Amino acid sequence: MLGGIVSVLLAGASVSTSTFSSPSTNKDAIFTEWCHRVGIETPKAELRTTKESVAGRGVFASQDVLKGDVVLRIPEAAVLHNQNAALYFPETAGFLASKKQKILKERRRRQRWWDPRTLWRRLRPLPFEKDNLEFVDPSEDLWQMELTLFALDVLENASVHPWGLWVSEWYRDDPMQRLHQTNVQWKNSVEIDGCIAELQEMLPDANPLTLRAAVDLRLRRLNALKNLYDVHHVPPLDTIYGLVISRAIELGKGIAGVIPMFDMINHSLEPNLALSFDGSAFELIAQRNIAENEEMFICYTRDISETINTKKKSLWDEVSAVWTLVQWGIPTLPEMGDVKKMTIKSSARENQNQETEDDDEATIKIKTFPIPSWTSRRKTRL
């Protein structure tokens, strides 16, 4: 059943990229209507399937926009995150909570070096594939499986669920996502070789071994998450996992979520929009004047813009570039040009005395994978 839905969804998605029409297809109009139904306000922006977009589909200014204007407003209740999803899917939420408890308990046990089982592991390491916690950091990675399972629940009854239309339109087309869609195992080297060759074409200067290590870790982490949660729906789980991790952002306090409409905006190192949270809704605010029909962009990772676009430029390294390629299919070369640093503020609107939990900027931070732990984990293994 679920496999059926997902293959229809993927087939639909690939059709939509080859049959462009300008400026807005019927599918986009239906999506816009959906936005309004779930309370998303689109004062100055709209989704369009058009060749004008860098990726075939993107969000455009529907009229002239002035710097500081709110172009989109997304109520928090429309965001797919754990707490909202638990209201719709209490059974899955209960399952996830009990697994999480178990995983955290095991993690704590391993941190006690004097624990007999920990000592035994030091003496006699477990077979590689059994040691799932080696590839999953419980404080960093569990949201990936949580959001994936909730998204699968949404798709199970996509025609009736409020998020159904939106999640059905999730789409990503790059070598890593195609690899996930084949439901490949980390052991299966033929498919992986093909993926690495494609990634290499996109980022010719990258060391093939670094590429392989990144692809390998992504697959092993997914495999480890499947084992820890004991879920093995195939192949839609892998497909949805790839989509979730490229669309989710960290919403502060360890909560990750996917924000509808925001997730349809394409990436640029020179974004013209910034995300802001006013306590009840996410707003996309123009960072400069934007002309009608211009495409709007965000920068998918603050880390990239901060390292590339500031004096820390030299810190942008091959590992970060490779990881960005694997996570989003974006080939970001270390010598990308000078652009201004993107600001993400928890409360960018002026004249509001509303209390927010945190006045500092950067309460909302784009979720990227922890590159340092990735390298250190590889080091311990190679």
Site membership for ligand NAG, residue 19 (CB under 6 A):
no
Cis peptide before 23 (omega within 30 of 0): yes
Site membership for ligand NAG, residue 57 (CB under 6 A):
yes
- Write down the least CB distance from residue 97 to ligand NAG, Å: 16
Cis peptide before 127 (omega within 30 of 0): no
Site membership for ligand NAG, residue 261 (CB under 6 A):
no
Q: Are 91 and 156 in contact (CB under 8 A)?
A: no
Site membership for ligand NAG, residue 178 (CB under 6 A):
no
Stretch that binds ligand NAG, among 118-126, 150-158, 343-351, 366-374 (CB under 6 A): 150-158
Residues numbered 116-135 forming contacts with ligand NAG, rule: CB under 6 A: none
Burial class (CB in 10 A: 0-12, 13-18, 19+), 244: buried
- Write down the least CB distance from residue 43 to ligand NAG, Å: 19
Q: What are phi and psi of 297, to 5 degrees?
A: -135, 150
Residues numbered 181-220 forming contacts with ligand NAG, rule: CB under 6 A: none
- CB proximity list for 94: less than 8 A, separation 6 or greater: none
Burial class (CB in 10 A: 0-12, 13-18, 19+), 236: buried
- Write down the least CB distance from residue 27 to ligand NAG, Å: 11
Site membership for ligand NAG, residue 175 (CB under 6 A):
no
- CB proximity list for 372: less than 8 A, separation 6 or greater: none
Q: Measured from the CB atom, is 73 or 247 closer to ligand NAG?
A: 247
How many residues touch ligand NAG (CB under 6 A)?
Answer: 14
> H-type helices in the chain, by residue range?
2-18, 26-37, 82-88, 90-111, 116-123, 138-156, 164-168, 175-181, 189-202, 208-229, 236-247, 302-308, 318-328, 371-381
Stretch that binds ligand NAG, among 24-32, 54-62, 139-147, 217-225 (CB under 6 A): 54-62
The CA distances from residue 167 to 192, 260, 286, 331, in Å, are 27, 9, 26, 26
Site membership for ligand NAG, residue 267 (CB under 6 A):
yes
Q: Which of 10, 38, 55, 336 binds ligand NAG (CB under 6 A)?
A: 55
Q: What is the DSSP string of 110-159?
A: HH-TTSHHHHHHHHSPPPGGG-GGGT--HHHHHHHHHHHHHHHHHHHTTT
Residues numbered 316-375 forming contacts with ligand NAG, rule: CB under 6 A: 328, 330
Q: Measured from the CB atom, is 46 or 216 closer to ligand NAG?
A: 46
Q: Measured from the CB atom, is 57 or 180 closer to ligand NAG?
A: 57
Q: Which of 172, 180, 302, 377 binds ligand NAG (CB under 6 A)?
A: 172
Stretch that binds ligand NAG, among 35-43, 62-70, 149-157, 280-288 (CB under 6 A): 149-157
Site membership for ligand NAG, residue 58 (CB under 6 A):
yes
Q: Which of 153, 216, 295, 303 binds ligand NAG (CB under 6 A)?
A: 153
| Torsion over CA: 239, 240, 241, 247 (sign) | positive
- Write down the least CB distance from residue 243 to ligand NAG, Å: 10
Q: Measured from the CB atom, is 214 or 264 closer to ligand NAG?
A: 264
Euclidean distance between the first and the last CA atom of the chain, given in angstroms as a whole number:
41
Site membership for ligand NAG, residue 264 (CB under 6 A):
yes
The CA distances from residue 104 to 97, 111, 231, in Å, are 11, 11, 18
Q: What distance in Å separates the CA atoms of residue 122 and residue 130, rounded to the nearest whole number?
A: 15
- Write down the least CB distance from residue 341 to ligand NAG, Å: 20
- Write down the least CB distance from residue 275 to ligand NAG, Å: 16
- Write down the least CB distance from residue 285 to ligand NAG, Å: 19
Site membership for ligand NAG, residue 171 (CB under 6 A):
yes
Q: What distance in Å separates the CA atoms of residue 51 and residue 58, rounded to the nearest whole number?
A: 10
Stretch that binds ligand NAG, among 64-72, 119-127, 251-259, 262-270 (CB under 6 A): 262-270
Instruction: List the beta bridge partners of residue 361.
Output: 345
Footprint of ligand NAG (CB under 6 A): 55, 57-58, 89, 153, 156-157, 171-172, 264, 266-267, 328, 330
